[in-house]
Structure 1
Amino acid sequence: MPLPRAQIALAFFAFIIVGANDGAFGVVLPSIQDHYHADKATIGLLFLASTVGYLFGSFNNGPLLEKLGRHRFLMLGTLALLIGTGTISFMPPFPFLLVGYLILGVGISLLDPGLNAYITSLPRSTALLNYLHAFYGVGAWLGPLLASALLSQRLGWNGVYITWWSLGLLALIGFGWLFRNLNERQGSEEGEEQATGNVLWMALRLRVVWLAALFLLFYVGAEVSLGNWSFSFLTEERHGDLLLSGGIVSGYWFGLTLGRVVLAHAGERIGNRRLIELCLGGVALGLALVWFVPFQPISAAGLLLVGFCLGPIFPSVIALMPGLVPSRLVPSAIGFLASMSAVGGSLCPWLAGNLAEHLGLWTLLPFAIVLTGCMLCLWLALPHKAAQEMPQ
């Protein structure tokens, strides 16, 4: 296999690991809770530790990438993933378990923008980014199945993390071998201009970075809110059958992955901007169908449409960044976008839950429509021209 194709295949493999880890967490969580005899409030600290680690890594990945180069940066992220999963797999005392999840969050926060930044540097990056994030969806689908199979065989919840550690070791070897000359090619091909100062600080001084980051905050907030609360909405608010409602929610996540595969090349044909505008319109239409037509087949079709249209938005926004910010700031910009999206993935589902608690689960759909409206406003405010100068 030619080197670039092997590197791309390894990036896809690494995203499967990340997706599998995220998707399987909900399956192993009850077993972890039973093992440590912890209540829900205490076990919720695992979410906090992972998020803190992710945010810490996201806000430091720009300077780290500047110092280490892409090869060592990706190896560092994979090494952190190995340390995190290795610590967790030993089932240590709970405080050390929190440390393991924090380190795992750091590792994912480095791999995520690091691989996104690498793919954006390649030709036909929009399609490749859609495929990259589609493989995350494949991992998120396979992770719960694998975790359930391991638990059903009484191998223990730590067996899941031993599996992630083993796969991560393969990824580390792959990054060490296949990406060993990436730094040299990066310097010779891109001819990046030299600039002084902290690259993250320079990226944060650009208005376009904040607009794109807020856009993805609302995007991931809508995506995760619908994924987390749709089942409760269908079963409690609409009194739907449990099995059928679960299938409808699975269809939503399937649509998300399908959209990234089917529409992977659409951005190249009609432009990323036009694609995202059409996708936002499709999201609003799907939400309206679910809201105003309380009939389960229509709800299934509506949520499938919402997932399908949401799918290509995140990778398409990432693909736009090299054309909107100076090349040296692209990794820091992508890292900041990833961190803000993580904030949206935590904050918006919490707000949706509070609205459901005080006003009712019917608020989920208008809440998601409001988030979609905020995305559209931010999208229209994004500049259409690339950045011309490096901030000093």
Structure 2
Amino acid sequence: MATWFLLIIYLAFISLGLPDSLLGSAWPVMQPEIGASFGSAGILSMIIAGGTIVSSLASGTIVGRLGVGKVTLISCLMTAGALVGFSVAPSFVWLAVLAIPLGLGAGSVDAGLNQYVAENYKAHHMSWLHCFWGVGATTGPLIMSAFIAGDYSWRGGYAAVAIIQFALVVVLFLTLPLWERVAEEHKLEKAIQNDERDFSNEEKTKNETKVDPEFSSVADASSGIAFKNKTATEKLNRPAKANLFAIKGIKPSLAAFLLYCGAESMVGLWGASFLVGVREVTAVTAAGWVSMYYGGITIGRLITGFITLMVSNVVLIRCGQIVTIAGGLLLILPLPAIFSLAGFVLVGLGLAPIYPGLLHETPARFGKENSARLMGYQMAVAYTGSTFLPPLFGVLATKTSVSLFPLVLLIILGLMLFSAEKVNLALRKPKEGIRSGA
């Protein structure tokens, strides 16, 4: 049952990734057809991300009322309908209107699923969860490039992805009772674990009452053990902080989320335009190369899922950031066009462990009692990066040149590395190296 449930969660993340990479891949051919300016893709990206921010902030309330299963189903249905609208939209104005449900459909399910996996599964499941987002994000440009190369243009690409989304809607609808059943099983498992813990504490209390040298008498020992157990229970049931921003290290952590999603979205949105305008490759080739960027994220997260069994998230996040900077350097150097493909793949591979690693560290770093609200805030801040950084670059490129793309990307990646390391210094976690077990 648990395995089937994980597969459904993975499918839901494929549906999240599919639409994310379509706009950037299609824009070089969409822009002249609909008569929009070059930087208008940034406006669409901003509307989509803005809707995601709104639904992320409301995710705690929405998921609490409807449950993760229903929210996931509704989200996928909204995005599928919006994609159908994109495929027939006659003008930029219609695209802007349809971008609203496309963004709203992503936020709540993203935050809800991330919180559930962070609290209930180990780090490798979080990496594999986002690996499946990469499967969707990689497949999107491949589908789009195939339709651009054929007779159906970008509209056929959007229609094809909409059909896939509707197929996922059917799967989610048929398996909706499974979400509630698995939720009840998790509650039962937790109840059994609590009973076993209580029994273990009782036995421990009896044994320690006889031999604990800390206390001078049996009565003192009993009260002392009771006090220890009470303290441990209070720690587990600690209430969430009212002011989450006062938590040590939270501000640079949120900055890292903002910069990560800004960098990831900027590459996805403007990468193909950079390749066409500066490296002088065809639109079909550019879409394929951007797909390889998302492929790097996907493969990287698949591999990272195994590495997390031996290496901590902190080390993986740091190594990933170094790899992204190496990829950015390949893009900025005046090398043959094929090196740009290597640069995109390296950036994707480097980004792979950063986002799931930061998410999975949330309960451990800032407290499980704070993780539900923090996850929504992190999603909102992350999508703020997606909202503003790519459009800002679009404005810059319109006024100057798209050739500034790798330089701006390197600046963002450097700031992200600084923010992530600032969190490590603030928290000073001693065990960040090789783990002794899974």
Q: Name the TM tier (shorter chain).
A: 0.7 to 0.9
Larger CA deviation: 294-303 vs 183-192: 183-192
Mapped contact 1:289–1:298 kept (Cα < 8 A): yes
Mapped contact 1:126–1:264 kept (Cα < 8 A): yes
SS in 1 for 2:308: helix
1:87-117 Cα distance to aligned partner (Å, 9 max, x none): 7758899999977654453332111111112
Larger CA deviation: 96-105 vs 318-327: 96-105
Per the alignment, residue 371 of structure 1 pairs with 412
Deviation (angstroms), 1:309? 1.0
The 1:174/1:253 distance shift into structure 2, 3 A limit, reads same
Mapped pair 1:6 → 2:4:
yes
Deviation (angstroms), 1:218? 0.6
Deviation (angstroms), 1:319? 1.1
Mapped pair 1:282 → 2:282:
no
Larger CA deviation: 176-185 vs 42-51: 42-51
SS in 1 for 2:237: coil
Deviation (angstroms), 1:180? 2.8
Mapped contact 2:28–2:273 kept (Cα < 8 A): no
1:330-351 Cα distance to aligned partner (Å, 9 max, x none): 1221221112111111211122
1:138-158 Cα distance to aligned partner (Å, 9 max, x none): 112334555766994998966
Which aligned pairs between 1:288-307 and structure 2 lie closer than 5 A?
288-307=329-348
Mapped pair 1:352 → 2:396:
no
Mapped contact 1:75–1:176 kept (Cα < 8 A): no
* Structure-1 separation of matches of 2:307 and 2:30: 43
Per the alignment, residue 116 of structure 1 pairs with 114
1:157-183 Cα distance to aligned partner (Å, 9 max, x none): 667545423422321332432443415
Deviation (angstroms), 1:203? 3.5
Runs of at least 5 residues in structure 1 that lack an aligned partner in the other structure: 387-392
Per the alignment, residue 67 of structure 2 pairs with 72
The 1:93/1:74 distance shift into structure 2, 3 A limit, reads farther
1:318-368 Cα distance to aligned partner (Å, 9 max, x none): 111110122132122122111211111121112222333334333222211
Mapped contact 1:220–1:342 kept (Cα < 8 A): yes
SS in 1 for 2:135: helix
Deviation (angstroms), 1:241? 5.7
* Structure-1 separation of matches of 2:349 and 2:157: 35
Per the alignment, residue 129 of structure 1 pairs with 126
Deviation (angstroms), 1:210? 2.9
* Structure-1 separation of matches of 2:333 and 2:160: 45
- The amino acid across from 1:265 in the alignment is F
Per the alignment, residue 51 of structure 2 pairs with 53
The 1:121/1:356 distance shift into structure 2, 3 A limit, reads same
Mapped contact 2:139–2:291 kept (Cα < 8 A): no
Deviation (angstroms), 1:131? 1.2
Higher Rg:
2
The 1:163/1:274 distance shift into structure 2, 3 A limit, reads closer
Mapped contact 2:263–2:413 kept (Cα < 8 A): yes
Runs of at least 5 residues in structure 2 that lack an aligned partner in the other structure: 195-232, 431-438
Mapped contact 1:209–1:333 kept (Cα < 8 A): no
Name which of 230, 237, 260 aligns with 1:193: 237
Per the alignment, residue 255 of structure 1 pairs with 296
Mapped contact 2:325–2:410 kept (Cα < 8 A): yes
SS in 2 for 1:270: coil
Per the alignment, residue 172 of structure 1 pairs with 173
* Structure-2 separation of matches of 1:163 and 1:223: 24
Deviation (angstroms), 1:272? 1.1
The 1:33/1:160 distance shift into structure 2, 3 A limit, reads farther
Per the alignment, residue 202 of structure 2 pairs with none
* Structure-1 separation of matches of 2:297 and 2:137: 11
1:10-57 Cα distance to aligned partner (Å, 9 max, x none): 10011111212334456889999999x896799987655533431121
- The amino acid across from 2:169 in the alignment is G
Deviation (angstroms), 1:135? 0.9
TM-score normalized with structure 2 length: 0.72
**Count of paired positions:** 376
- The amino acid across from 1:21 in the alignment is P
- The amino acid across from 1:129 in the alignment is M
- The amino acid across from 1:73 in the alignment is V
Mapped contact 1:86–1:162 kept (Cα < 8 A): no
Mapped contact 1:74–1:110 kept (Cα < 8 A): no
Mapped contact 2:50–2:383 kept (Cα < 8 A): no
* Structure-2 separation of matches of 1:30 and 1:237: 13
Per the alignment, residue 361 of structure 1 pairs with 402
Deviation (angstroms), 1:307? 1.4
Per the alignment, residue 306 of structure 2 pairs with 265
- The amino acid across from 2:384 in the alignment is V
Mapped contact 1:263–1:312 kept (Cα < 8 A): yes
